[in-house]
Amino acid sequence: MRDIAAHVPYDALVIMVNHSRYGGGGIYNFFCTFTAHNQWSEYLLLHEFGHSFSGLADEYYSSSTAYNDFYPPGIEPTEPNITALLDPTNLKWKQLLTQGIEIPTPWNKKEYDRIDSIYQKRRRELNDIITRLKKEHAPESQINAAQEEASAHSRKFASKMDNFLKKSKYAGKVGAFEGAGYSSKGLYRPMLDCIMFSKGKKPYCKVCEQAIIKIIEQYSK
Ligand SMILES: [Zn+2]
């Protein structure tokens, strides 16, 4: 792949996978990859690019694809967009904080987690159904219908959560919100929402944006 890519000047390598199944990954300074034929493809590209281009961390903490204890407790993660908040007065994004905001920033996490757990449960059920249908070599129409139901479920949840977060009095503010880096407790993200936190058409949070600008300048100045 690198031998082929070397025929043109490039800074970042993106591998598009011709597949409809949801998925992707990105490793800092290496490459990112994403599936190009599903409803979240645009989001996937931008999210995975955040990892590979700027070394951003995942800000989500409840997905079934998350890892346990990825970040050892008591150690500050190296990524620019999550923190263990070991020294709240010296937060790594302190220049971007909304003036006067409480640290850690209280948010409606309990309600978010409640809705999320209902979604995750149904998501697992739907995925199990799809796996079973495939194993049993069920008719394609039946598999497609199940996959469409799973897609619709994911879409509905994403828009519900977008609205939920937008309604919060902390929407658009920079603070330290608990729940980040695959951990519900002890890790914090800069804003309520970000493309590194949830799926959908949305911007990077201000901290992620600054991290991306820094790398662009590193390449271009
Ligand atoms: Zn972010």
84 CA to middle of ligand 1, Å? 15
157 CA to middle of ligand 1, Å? 20
Which of 39, 32, 38 is CA-nearest to residue 16? 32
210 CA to middle of ligand 1, Å? 10
Give, to the nearest 10 degrees, the angle between helix 41-54 and helix 206-220: 60
Residue 70 has a pLDDT of 87
Q: Give the whole-angstrom CA distance, residue 68 versus residue 82.
A: 16
197 CA to middle of ligand 1, Å? 7
136 CA to middle of ligand 1, Å? 41
For the CA atoms of 50, 38, 116, 48, the dihedral, rounded to the nearest 10 degrees, stands at -10
208 is written with which tokens? 């992620």
H-type helices in the chain, by residue range? 2-5, 41-54, 109-135, 140-167, 206-220
81 CA to middle of ligand 1, Å? 6
Residue 49 has a pLDDT of 98
Q: Which parts of the chain register pLDDT below 70?
A: 63-67
Is the pTM here over 0.75, yes or no? yes
- Rounded to a whole number, what is the largest CA-CA distance in the chain? 59
53 CA to middle of ligand 1, Å? 14
φ/ψ bin of 172: left (φ > 0), alpha (ψ from -120 to 50), beta (otherwise): left
Residues 1/10, Cβ–Cβ less than 8 Å: no
